[in-house]
Protein backbone atom coordinates (compact mmCIF):
# COMPACT_ATOMS: atom_id res chain seq x y z
CA UNK A 1 0.00 0.00 0.00
CA UNK A 2 2.93 2.33 0.54
CA UNK A 3 3.85 2.59 -3.16
CA UNK A 4 0.34 3.29 -4.44
CA UNK A 5 -0.40 5.85 -1.76
CA UNK A 6 2.89 7.67 -2.53
CA UNK A 7 2.02 7.66 -6.23
CA UNK A 8 -1.49 8.94 -5.47
CA UNK A 9 -0.09 11.68 -3.22
CA UNK A 10 2.40 12.74 -5.95
CA UNK A 11 -0.42 12.93 -8.52
CA UNK A 12 -2.56 15.04 -6.18
CA UNK A 13 0.35 17.39 -5.48
CA UNK A 14 1.09 17.71 -9.21
CA UNK A 15 -2.56 18.48 -9.90
CA UNK A 16 -2.65 21.13 -7.13
CA UNK A 17 0.55 22.77 -8.46
CA UNK A 18 -0.81 22.72 -12.05
CA UNK A 19 -4.14 24.26 -11.01
CA UNK A 20 -2.32 26.84 -8.87
CA UNK A 21 -0.05 27.70 -11.82
CA UNK A 22 -3.00 28.13 -14.22
CA UNK A 23 -4.96 30.29 -11.76
CA UNK A 24 -1.88 32.36 -10.90
CA UNK A 25 -0.99 32.88 -14.59
CA UNK A 26 -4.58 33.87 -15.37
CA UNK A 27 -4.58 36.57 -12.68
CA UNK A 28 -1.08 37.75 -13.63
CA UNK A 29 -1.95 38.04 -17.36
CA UNK A 30 -5.25 39.82 -16.67
CA UNK A 31 -3.64 42.38 -14.36
CA UNK A 32 -0.71 42.96 -16.72
CA UNK A 33 -2.99 43.39 -19.79
CA UNK A 34 -5.54 45.61 -18.02
CA UNK A 35 -5.63 48.98 -19.74
CA UNK A 36 -2.84 48.05 -22.16
CA UNK A 37 -2.70 47.96 -25.95
CA UNK A 38 -0.65 45.52 -28.00
CA UNK A 39 1.43 47.23 -30.67
CA UNK A 40 2.90 45.34 -33.62
CA UNK A 41 5.96 47.10 -35.00
CA UNK A 42 7.32 46.17 -38.43
CA UNK A 43 11.00 47.15 -38.43
CA UNK A 44 12.91 48.28 -41.51
CA UNK A 45 14.59 44.86 -41.67
CA UNK A 46 11.07 43.32 -42.10
CA UNK A 47 11.05 41.83 -38.60
CA UNK A 48 7.73 41.99 -36.75
CA UNK A 49 7.79 42.55 -32.98
CA UNK A 50 4.93 42.97 -30.55
CA UNK A 51 4.82 45.04 -27.37
CA UNK A 52 2.20 45.48 -24.67
CA UNK A 53 2.21 49.21 -23.89
CA UNK A 54 0.18 51.43 -21.58
CA UNK A 55 -1.43 54.37 -23.39
CA UNK A 56 -1.16 57.95 -22.16
CA UNK A 57 -3.95 59.88 -23.80
CA UNK A 58 -3.82 59.16 -27.53
CA UNK A 59 -0.18 58.01 -27.59
CA UNK A 60 1.96 55.10 -26.49
CA UNK A 61 5.70 55.19 -25.85
CA UNK A 62 8.10 52.39 -26.68
CA UNK A 63 11.35 52.53 -24.74
CA UNK A 64 12.77 55.00 -22.23
CA UNK A 65 14.87 58.14 -22.35
CA UNK A 66 16.14 59.72 -25.54
CA UNK A 67 15.71 56.55 -27.63
CA UNK A 68 11.98 56.30 -26.82
CA UNK A 69 9.57 56.19 -29.76
CA UNK A 70 6.06 57.61 -29.54
CA UNK A 71 3.14 56.32 -31.57
CA UNK A 72 -0.37 57.69 -32.07
CA UNK A 73 -3.40 55.62 -31.10
CA UNK A 74 -6.38 56.12 -33.40
CA UNK A 75 -9.62 54.31 -32.48
CA UNK A 76 -10.66 53.80 -36.12
CA UNK A 77 -7.46 51.82 -36.78
CA UNK A 78 -7.82 49.56 -33.74
CA UNK A 79 -7.96 45.77 -34.02
CA UNK A 80 -8.25 43.07 -31.39
CA UNK A 81 -5.75 40.37 -30.57
CA UNK A 82 -5.16 37.88 -27.80
CA UNK A 83 -2.45 38.55 -25.24
CA UNK A 84 0.05 36.99 -24.61
CA UNK A 85 0.65 35.54 -28.08
CA UNK A 86 1.51 31.86 -28.16
CA UNK A 87 -0.21 30.98 -24.89
CA UNK A 88 -3.23 28.65 -24.80
CA UNK A 89 -6.54 30.47 -25.40
CA UNK A 90 -7.59 29.51 -21.88
CA UNK A 91 -4.94 31.90 -20.51
CA UNK A 92 -5.12 34.65 -23.15
CA UNK A 93 -7.17 37.84 -22.84
CA UNK A 94 -8.41 40.07 -25.69
CA UNK A 95 -6.65 43.45 -25.94
CA UNK A 96 -6.77 46.30 -28.47
CA UNK A 97 -4.02 46.12 -31.08
CA UNK A 98 -2.39 48.52 -33.54
CA UNK A 99 0.01 47.98 -36.45
CA UNK A 100 2.95 50.34 -37.05
CA UNK A 101 5.81 50.57 -39.52
CA UNK A 102 9.19 51.72 -38.28
CA UNK A 103 9.55 55.45 -38.89
CA UNK A 104 5.79 56.09 -39.01
CA UNK A 105 3.97 57.26 -35.87
CA UNK A 106 0.50 56.63 -37.33
CA UNK A 107 -1.08 53.17 -37.10
CA UNK A 108 -1.72 51.25 -40.31
CA UNK A 109 -5.16 50.23 -41.49
CA UNK A 110 -4.86 47.31 -43.93
CA UNK A 111 -8.55 47.61 -44.86
CA UNK A 112 -7.90 51.12 -46.18
CA UNK A 113 -5.83 49.78 -49.09
CA UNK A 114 -7.10 48.64 -52.49
CA UNK A 115 -6.06 45.11 -53.42
CA UNK A 116 -5.02 44.28 -56.97
CA UNK A 117 -6.69 40.88 -56.84
CA UNK A 118 -9.41 39.45 -54.63
CA UNK A 119 -9.15 36.04 -52.94
CA UNK A 120 -12.01 34.77 -55.14
CA UNK A 121 -10.24 35.84 -58.34
CA UNK A 122 -7.02 34.23 -57.18
CA UNK A 123 -8.88 30.99 -56.52
CA UNK A 124 -10.37 31.04 -60.04
CA UNK A 125 -6.98 31.71 -61.61
CA UNK A 126 -5.45 28.89 -59.59
CA UNK A 127 -8.31 26.61 -60.62
CA UNK A 128 -7.73 27.44 -64.30
CA UNK A 129 -4.06 26.62 -63.95
CA UNK A 130 -5.02 23.42 -62.16
CA UNK A 131 -7.42 22.57 -65.00
CA UNK A 132 -4.69 23.07 -67.60
CA UNK A 133 -2.35 20.86 -65.58
CA UNK A 134 -5.07 18.20 -65.30
CA UNK A 135 -5.61 18.18 -69.08
CA UNK A 136 -1.86 17.92 -69.59
CA UNK A 137 -1.72 14.96 -67.19
CA UNK A 138 -4.65 13.27 -68.97
CA UNK A 139 -2.97 13.70 -72.38
CA UNK A 140 0.27 12.26 -71.01
CA UNK A 141 -1.49 9.28 -69.41
CA UNK A 142 -3.36 8.49 -72.65
CA UNK A 143 -0.19 8.83 -74.70
CA UNK A 144 -1.47 11.78 -76.74
CA UNK A 145 1.50 13.83 -77.76
CA UNK A 146 1.08 17.42 -78.75
CA UNK A 147 3.62 18.82 -81.13
CA UNK A 148 4.70 22.42 -80.87
CA UNK A 149 3.20 24.73 -83.49
CA UNK A 150 5.58 25.41 -86.37
CA UNK A 151 5.20 29.15 -87.11
CA UNK A 152 6.96 28.96 -90.49
CA UNK A 153 4.56 26.26 -91.64
CA UNK A 154 1.58 28.43 -90.58
CA UNK A 155 2.91 31.40 -92.56
CA UNK A 156 3.44 29.26 -95.70
CA UNK A 157 -0.05 27.76 -95.32
CA UNK A 158 -1.55 31.26 -94.98
CA UNK A 159 0.20 32.48 -98.14
CA UNK A 160 -1.00 29.41 -100.09
CA UNK A 161 -4.60 30.04 -98.99
CA UNK A 162 -4.42 33.74 -99.98
CA UNK A 163 -2.94 32.89 -103.41
CA UNK A 164 -5.63 30.23 -103.95
CA UNK A 165 -8.41 32.71 -103.13
CA UNK A 166 -6.96 35.37 -105.48
CA UNK A 167 -6.59 32.83 -108.32
CA UNK A 168 -10.14 31.56 -107.82
CA UNK A 169 -11.63 35.05 -108.06
CA UNK A 170 -9.46 36.02 -111.01
CA UNK A 171 -10.48 32.99 -113.11
CA UNK A 172 -14.07 32.60 -111.96
CA UNK A 173 -16.46 34.94 -113.71
CA UNK A 174 -13.88 37.14 -115.36
CA UNK A 175 -12.38 38.59 -112.23
CA UNK A 176 -13.68 40.21 -109.12
CA UNK A 177 -16.74 42.00 -110.34
CA UNK A 178 -14.93 43.51 -113.36
CA UNK A 179 -16.84 43.72 -116.59
CA UNK A 180 -15.63 41.79 -119.63
CA UNK A 181 -13.67 44.21 -121.90
CA UNK A 182 -14.45 42.14 -125.06
CA UNK A 183 -18.15 42.76 -124.82
CA UNK A 184 -20.75 40.22 -124.08
Dump pLDDT digits (tens) for 68-121: 888 888 888 889 999 998 888 888 899 999 998 888 888 888 777 766 667 777
Higher pLDDT, 89 or 129: 89
Count other C-beta atoms under 10 Å from residue 32's C-beta. Answer: 13
Residue by residue, DSSP assigns 101-166 as ETT--SPB-GGGS--SS-HHHHHHHHHHHHHHHHHHHHHHHHT--PPPP-HHHHHHHHHHHHHHHH
pLDDT at 35 over 80: yes
Per-residue pLDDT at 183: 52
The chain-wide mean pLDDT, for the chain, equals: 82
Dump pLDDT digits (tens) for 130-148: 777 777 887 778 777 766 6
Among candidate residues 39, 32, 115, the one with its CA nearest the CA of residue 77: 39
Dump pLDDT digits (tens) for 44-54: 898 989 999 99
Per-residue pLDDT at 144: 74
Are residues 74 and 60 in contact, defined by beta-carbon separation less than 8 angstroms?
no
Per-residue pLDDT at 132: 78
Amino acid sequence: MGMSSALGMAMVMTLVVLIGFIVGMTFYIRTKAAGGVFCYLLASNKQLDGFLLKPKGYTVTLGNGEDAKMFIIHPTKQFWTRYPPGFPKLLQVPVPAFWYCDGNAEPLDPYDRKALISPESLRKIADEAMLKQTWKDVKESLGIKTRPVNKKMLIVLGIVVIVAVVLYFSFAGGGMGCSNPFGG
